[in-house]
Amino acid sequence: MGFWNFVLNFWTELGAWVGNVLSGWGLPPWAVNLIADVLGVLVLVVIGVAAVLIFTPMERKVIARMQDRPGPNRVWPYGLLQAIPDAIKMLTKEDIVPEKADRQLHMLAPILVVIPSLLVYAVLPWGPRIIGQDLNVGVLYIVAISTIHILAVLIAAWGSDNKFALLSAFRVVNQLLAYEVPMILSILAVVLFTKTMSTQGIVEAQTLPYFLVMPIAGFVFLVCALAETNRSPNDLLEADSELVAGYMVEYSGMKFAMFFIAEYVNMFASAILLSTLFLGGYKFFGLENAAPVLTPFIVFGKASFVIFLMLWFRATFPRMRFDHLVGFSWKFLVPLSLVNLILAGIAVKIPVADPRWEPWVQGGVMAIASLVIIAATAWILNRTARKLEGAPALKRIVAAER
Amino acid sequence: MLSDYHFIGVFVLVAIAFPFLALGIAWLLRPKKPNPVKTAIYECGLETIGDAWVRFRAQYYIYALIFVAFDVEAVFLFPWAVAYHRVGLWALAEVFLFLGILTIGLVYAWRKGALRWQ
């Protein structure tokens, strides 16, 4: 039994073993803590950076398949190791700083963009007690840290003294600010149900995946995750047909790679966050209790599914126009998520005699109310569209922009 | 409580070290041969006229102002959401009022055309 117990709880056993070895060396407790912290941090950073190596080939292959072309297929096997020669190329490329650029800011931006994207991994849960640090303000921490990204984008554009870059940065800042609000509001609806901000607690409280309980919040969060990571159809920052490559146009070599790494690390983090908040995190039909060793793979599988969705969106939807994009957030997502938040507030207050039935009754009420709201929204949108059907094109455009 | 944050502190240090390490390795490996054509501002082949450091549209400030209102609201709503199950129905009524005032603000901005790009 001892052997199976060890295998099934491999990650927690590993952590305990490292702790024992370190105290066995006769180190004081603070040094043991420090070394354990450093090891944990290094593992999380390596996971984050490895995500870049995994998801860039995945993105290129998946999109290639959707667009009916082979994609990268030279580097063995099937072009799946394409990321490694790319990394070497980035590492050995010359770093070009434009002569009129503000050198300090130009240097600071790629550093500042990577730091918050990695810091988010500190509170993402990989399994029961398999987490960097289970902060009691976990989600708030994620929201707060990921906002630093906006600052880095603006610094990058301002530091390069390039008009395209600055134009792109203004768009990005506006877009990120607009999509931050509905994202926070949909996270709040989840927090209302779980009664805790700890990411671990949120997973533990999910008897049903919250995507079924509150589809509105899940949908809003998915759209916002696409916008916050600047993925297509919201990739206005690098609309290559109008702005050359976005705010990082003046960056080359490793500095460009920093932006690239940050984008994929962010994408993976928000995919994990979405699966934590709405898809049940590391839970998978009781498998997390039977074999805790599998939980990181469950999380990885769910996050990969979310990223596949993101790639699917990119291959399917055309890029949105800038003012439509910002308007979509303020005029559609914000009111919708406010309604959803109020619904959640009412649903949580429904008195249930037996605490075992509480999540089912409250979740069921929430799900039905959400469906009603979705139907009402669809009806209103349809009616507005039908009213304008016969109108001349100009009138329709004016109405859409109001 | 505060002892939870030693991990975050270590993480901040490592996260700061990571880009410095990566850029440092690249600095050792890469060629360094700048010339005036190479370091010119990239503007699709045209010569750059003037700085990019200009004043930008006032519209962005209006969006930013609406955002600030909603972001501050979020800071208040997070503790409300966590403590919600412990307080009575009054908490719901108060938040209705709070969100109602904010919504009036959003509707006002909308009607004033602050959300219309022009």
Min Cα separation A73/chain B (Å): 27
- Give CA angle at A141 (A138, A147), nearest 5°: 145
Q: How confident is the model at residue A188 (pLDDT cuts 50, 70, 90)?
A: very high
Min Cα separation A106/chain B (Å): 13
CATH of the domain at B73: 1.20.58.1610
What is the domain count for chain B? 1
Range 88-117 of B in CB contact (< 8 A) with A: 89, 92, 95-96, 99, 103, 106, 110, 115-117
Which residue of B3, B5, B14, B95 is the best one to mutate when testing the A interface, meaning the one whose CB has the most A CBs within 10 A? B14
Q: How confident is the model at residue B12 (pLDDT cuts 50, 70, 90)?
A: very high
pLDDT tens digits for B73-83?
Answer: 888 888 888 88
Min Cα separation B95/chain A (Å): 9
Residues with Cβ < 8 Å from B25, sequence gap 6 or more? A91, A254
Across the range A349-357, mean pLDDT stands at 84
Structural domain boundaries in chain A:
2-401
SS (H, E, C) chain A: CHHHHHHHCHHHHHHHHHHHHHHHCCCCHHHHHHHHHHHHHHHHHHHHHHHHHHHHHHHHHHHHHHCCCCCCCCCCCCCCCCHHHHHHHHHHCCCCCCCCCCHHHHHHHHHHHHHHHHHHHHHCEEECCEECCCCCCHHHHHHHHHCHHHHHHHHHHHHHCCHHHHHHHHHHHHHHHHHHHHHHHHHHHHHHHHCCCCHHHHHHHCCCCHHHHCHHHHHHHHHHHHHHCCCCCCCHHHCCCCCCCHHHCCCCHHHHHHHHHHHHHHHHHHHHHHHHHHCCCCCCCCHHHHCHHHHHHHHHHHHHHHHHHHHHHHHHCCCCCHHHHHHHHHHHHHHHHHHHHHHHHHHHCCCCCCCCCHHHHHHHHHHHHHHHHHHHHHHHHHHHHHHCCCCCHHHHHHHHHC
Q: Give percent above pLDDT 90 in chain A.
A: 25
pLDDT tens digits for B53-63?
Answer: 777 788 888 88
Across the range A145-173, mean pLDDT stands at 85
Across the range A73-80, mean pLDDT stands at 80
Beta bridge partners of A130: A127
pLDDT tens digits for B84-115?
Answer: 888 878 888 888 898 898 889 889 988 888 77
What pLDDT, on a 0 to 100 scale, did the predictor assign at position A236?
67
Read off the tokens for A168.
Answer: 């792109």
Whether B42 and chain A come into contact, CB under 8 Å, resolves to yes
Whether A320 and chain B come into contact, CB under 8 Å, resolves to no
Maximum mean pLDDT: which of A29-38, A101-110, A352-361, A363-372: A363-372
Does B77 sit within 8 Å of A133, measured CB to CB?
Answer: no
Residue A1 has pLDDT above 60, yes or no: no
Whether A154 and chain B come into contact, CB under 8 Å, resolves to no
Chain length of chain B: 118
Q: Which residues of A356-382 are buried (b: 16+ CB within 10 A; e: fewer)?
A: eeebeebbbbbbebbeebeeeeeeeee
- Asked if the structure places residue B116 within a domain, the reply is no
Read off the tokens for A138.
Answer: 């976990």
Does A177 sit within 8 Å of B43, measured CB to CB?
Answer: no
DSSP of chain B: -GGGGHHHHHHHHHHHHHHHHHHHHHHHHS-----TTTTS--STTSPP-S-S-----THHHHHHHHHHHHHHHHHHHHHHHHHGGGS-HHHHHHHHHHHHHHHHHHHHHHHTTTTS--
Q: Write down the pTM of the prediction.
A: 0.91
pLDDT tens digits for A196-236?
Answer: 899 999 998 888 888 989 999 999 999 999 888 877 677 76
Range 105-124 of A in CB contact (< 8 A) with B: 110-111, 114-115, 118-119, 121-122
Domain boundaries, position B18:
2-111
Residue A269 has pLDDT above 90, yes or no: yes
Min Cα separation A78/chain B (Å): 28
Place of tokens 């790494």: A261
Q: Give percent above pLDDT 70 in chain A.
A: 96
Min Cα separation A239/chain B (Å): 15
- Asked if the structure places residue B117 within a domain, the reply is no
Q: Does the bond joining A77 to the residue before it have cis omega, within 30 degrees of 0?
A: yes
Task: Please count the residue pairs, one from chain A and one from chain B, whose beta carbons lie less than 8 angstroms apart.
Answer: 208
Residues A346, A350: Cα–Cα separation, whole Å? 7
Whether B22 and chain A come into contact, CB under 8 Å, resolves to yes
Which residue of A33, A124, A177 is the best one to mutate when testing the B interface, meaning the one whose CB has the most B CBs within 10 A? A177
pLDDT tens digits for A273-285?
Answer: 999 999 988 888 8
Read off the tokens for A289.
Answer: 């209790």
Residue of B nearest to A399 (CA): B116
Whether A306 and chain B come into contact, CB under 8 Å, resolves to no
Range 264-303 of A in CB contact (< 8 A) with B: none
Across the range A377-388, mean pLDDT stands at 86
Whether A389 and chain B come into contact, CB under 8 Å, resolves to no
Residue of A nearest to B113 (CA): A402
List the single residue in B5, B31, B92 with the smallest CB-CB distance to A345.
B92
What pLDDT, on a 0 to 100 scale, did the predictor assign at position B58?
81
What pLDDT, on a 0 to 100 scale, did the predictor assign at position A400?
67
What pLDDT, on a 0 to 100 scale, did the predictor assign at position A243?
67
Residues with Cβ < 8 Å from A396, sequence gap 6 or more? A388
List the single residue in B1, B18, B67 with the smallest CB-CB distance to A114.
B18
